[in-house]
Amino acid sequence: MIVAVARARKDAKALSHALNCETLSLGGVRSVKEVNPELLEKLRDKIVLFFAGKSEEKVAEEFLEVASEKAPIARIVKLSKKAVRNTRMEEVREKFEIEKAKIRLFFNFEDVFYFSSKNGLNVDLHPDYDAYFILSKEFAENMKEFFGVNFGEGNLIIRKLMNEEWIYSPELIAIVSKKIGEKCKLIEKFEREVSDIPIKKIAEKNRRFLETMEKISTAFLRKFREESIAVPFSGGKDSLTALILAKKVFKDVTAVYVKTNYEVPFTENYVEEVCQKLGVELKVVEANLRESDFSLESRSCTKVKMDALKKAVEDFSVLVVGDREAESRVRRLRGEVVQRIKTEVFPIKYWSGAMVQLYSILNGFKLHPLYYSGFYRLGCSNCPSMSEWEHFVLRKVIESN
């Protein structure tokens, strides 16, 4: 889905050593007009990053104009040395990771609502930051009760390291900590006006960008059309988006739900309803967990679930998995395709949590009910990765039902 491009063959070779993605060379041409049209066609429906040394600014600008006709998400990555091959690998990798974060956090079009590097967020960038929305008034009210600050539906959350969250409405209104294993707290609040912005309005305003991301992801999935396809579906927002995308590409799709004895409320019914609406086959496999399996150190709970999944997908050749780069450094450093349980492909690897939320809504799906109460991610009810905030929300949901 991402292709790194350099002008000269030696530069492209240097990129191939530094980056875990497809690389292309323009063949050493001095003008984009000299580039073979068939080479440019290889950029269609991909995210294109042109790595340019200091001496290549003109050809970089020419390239961006031409590439944008094939790939609407195309950017120039400027390096400090004269040529790419003279640049330290560490610099190439660092700028590659930051450029992907820019796409994820500040969508790529000027007319989007909320996401633009020109919108005054003034957020520093890090490859492991994510973004998501306060999806409902209930979510906002829960935040107010817990942190003592007014929030609104549609407020944007930039999720930084160690679960530090910066909340915008659209100006920065508060910084909170939801660090696992510690008391969650308000770090700072700002006396600014708080607005409600209906989440459906935000989704509609970002439709063009999200349709572009869909086009890139489905073009990637079409490479596997001859395979038998399963989608691990937990009921979470990311696996929902992976399932929607898979259904748009493949005729036959099976959703595999690993059901544990520690499910959070609503999950089983939600999974069934989504699969029925999409018209996909649902395969349910049980994973029985013990209290002793829940540990941040051993992660044996994950192993039990993965073992159950492995047995359930024996008859499939490809798994369409909803892993995203912003979830962890490990997932960021994986390729777009890996061999583990089966061939695993990651069509939303470069998406943010915010993109996933809006895309599901645009496709007519409500997210799992816990997202509307305040959850960022779903897990087991006894998950050691749950923060004090999530325990607070879960108790409220259980008490009200």
Residue 114's pLDDT is: 54
Residue 120's pLDDT is: 53
Q: Is 347 found in the same domain as 333?
A: yes
Give me the CATH number covering residue 326. Answer: 3.40.50.620
Residue 110's pLDDT is: 47
Q: Is 225 found in the same domain as 196?
A: no
Q: Is the pLDDT score of 109 beyond 50?
A: no
Please report whether residue 211 resides in a domain.
yes
Please report whether residue 85 resides in a domain.
yes
Mean pLDDT of 302-310: 91
Please report whether residue 384 resides in a domain.
yes
Q: Is the pLDDT score of 118 beyond 80?
A: no
What is the C-alpha R_g of the chain?
22
User: What is the residue-wise DSSP string for 142-197?
Assistant: HHHHHHS----TT-EEEE-GGGEEEEESSSEEEEEE--TTS--EEEEE--------
In tens, the pLDDT along 72-94 reads 898 999 999 999 999 999 999 99
Please report whether residue 177 resides in a domain.
yes
Alpha carbons 111 and 317: distance in angstroms, whole number? 40
Q: Is 232 found in the same domain as 141?
A: no
Give me the CATH number covering residue 23. Answer: 3.40.1360.10
Q: Is 293 found in the same domain as 164?
A: no
Residue type (1 letter), 357: Q
Mean pLDDT of 105-123: 56
The kind and range of the H/E element at 269 are: helix 267-278
Q: Is the pLDDT score of 165 beyond 60?
A: yes
In tens, the pLDDT along 219-277 reads 999 999 999 999 999 999 999 999 999 999 999 999 999 999 989 999 999 999 999 99
Residue 122's pLDDT is: 66
Q: Is 171 found in the same domain as 149?
A: yes
3-state secondary structure 99-133: HHHHHHHCCCCCCCCCCCCCCCCCCCCCCCCEEEE
Residue 117's pLDDT is: 46
Number of domains forming the structure of the chain:
3
In tens, the pLDDT along 166-207 reads 999 888 999 999 999 999 999 999 999 998 989 999 999 899
Q: What is the DSSP letter of 344?
A: E
Please report whether residue 120 resides in a domain.
no
Residue 329's pLDDT is: 84
Sign of the Cα torsion 159, 163, 169, 173 reads negative
Q: Is 211 found in the same domain as 349?
A: yes
What three-state secondary structure class fits 30?
coil
Residue 80's pLDDT is: 95
Please report whether residue 167 resides in a domain.
yes
Q: Is the pLDDT score of 297 beyond 90?
A: no
Q: Is 137 found in the same domain as 21?
A: no
Confidence of residue 322 (pLDDT cuts 50, 70, 90): very high
Q: What is the domain extent for residue 196?
A: 130-201
* Minimum mean pLDDT range among 17-31, 60-74, 141-155, 160-174: 60-74
Please report whether residue 119 resides in a domain.
no
Say which residue, 256 or 401, is predicted with more confidence.
256
Domain boundary among 175, 201, 227: 201
By C-alpha distance, which of 134, 139, 148 is closest to 176?
A: 148
CA dihedral 386, 168, 112, 126 (to 10 degrees): -60
Q: Is the pLDDT score of 363 beyond 70?
A: yes
Residue 215's pLDDT is: 96
Q: Is 241 found in the same domain as 170?
A: no
State the CB neighbour count (10 A cutoff) for residue 120.
11
By C-alpha distance, which of 326, 329, 373 is closest to 351?
A: 326
Of the chain, the percentage scoring pLDDT greater than 70 comes to: 95
Q: Is 196 found in the same domain as 210?
A: no
Mean pLDDT of 142-146: 98
Residue 66's pLDDT is: 84
Q: Is the pLDDT score of 298 beyond 80?
A: no
* Minimum mean pLDDT range among 59-73, 92-106, 204-218, 260-274: 59-73
Domain boundary among 201, 219, 252: 201
CB proximity list for 372: less than 8 A, separation 6 or greater: 135, 136, 138, 139
Domain boundary among 172, 201, 230: 201
Q: Is 172 found in the same domain as 274?
A: no
Please report whether residue 117 resides in a domain.
no
Q: Is 20 found in the same domain as 160?
A: no
Q: Is 391 found in the same domain as 262?
A: yes
Residue 64's pLDDT is: 84
